[in-house]
Amino acid sequence: MPELTLLYDGGCPLCRREVNTLERRDHARHGTARRLAFVDIDPSTYDPAAHQGVTYAQAMGRIHGLQADGTVLRDLAAFRRAYELVGWGWLYAPTRWPLVGALAEAAYGLWARWRLRLTGRPSLDQLCAVRAGACDRDAVDALLTEG
């Protein structure tokens, strides 16, 4: 059983790239005894009940990592743990220092807030509305193609 399951947005190019990097590193370091698992929250089949109750909106808003013991990690704590498990913990270790940690959390918060817009996607509210059936996909696609 993996030690950490990362919930990621498969519709986000940067998110997919990071997941691919972590998967390759996990495989290279641990072979078939992988320490990480990944769940793409983008498909409508994503089930919060199967993932510690982390809703689609929560997972789309900030990265979440689910530890094997049931603990839910968010934000930099999730990244730190993932990178530790693949032997690259040193990359995130400085984020444990108070000043560096505060700055890194603030930077991640800005990225999380603007990620959808920066990657040319609808807002989180629009994505949630589509998922809930409150509007149709064509309406969101039309918003993307507007001027």
Q: What is the pTM of this model?
A: 0.87
Structure tokens at 96: 């444990």
Question: Average pLDDT in the 83-89 region?
Answer: 98
| Per-residue pLDDT tens digits for 103-129 | 999 999 999 999 999 999 999 999 988
HSE-CB at 129 with a 13 A cutoff on CA atoms is 13
Question: Average pLDDT in the 94-98 region?
Answer: 97
**Confidence at 132, pLDDT banded by 50, 70, 90:** confident
Q: Which residue has the higher pLDDT, 48 or 132?
A: 48
Q: Which residues contact 131 (CB under 8 A, 6 or more apart)?
A: 44, 56
Question: Average pLDDT in the 18-39 region?
Answer: 97
**Confidence at 135, pLDDT banded by 50, 70, 90:** low
Percent of the chain with pLDDT over 90: 84
Question: Would you call 101 helix, strand, or coil by DSSP?
Answer: helix
Question: Average pLDDT in the 1-21 region?
Answer: 95
Percent of the chain with pLDDT over 70: 90
C-alpha Rg value of the chain to the nearest Å: 16
Question: What is the predicted pLDDT for the residue at 133?
Answer: 75
**Confidence check: pLDDT of 139 > 60:** no
| Per-residue pLDDT tens digits for 37-53 | 999 999 999 999 999 99
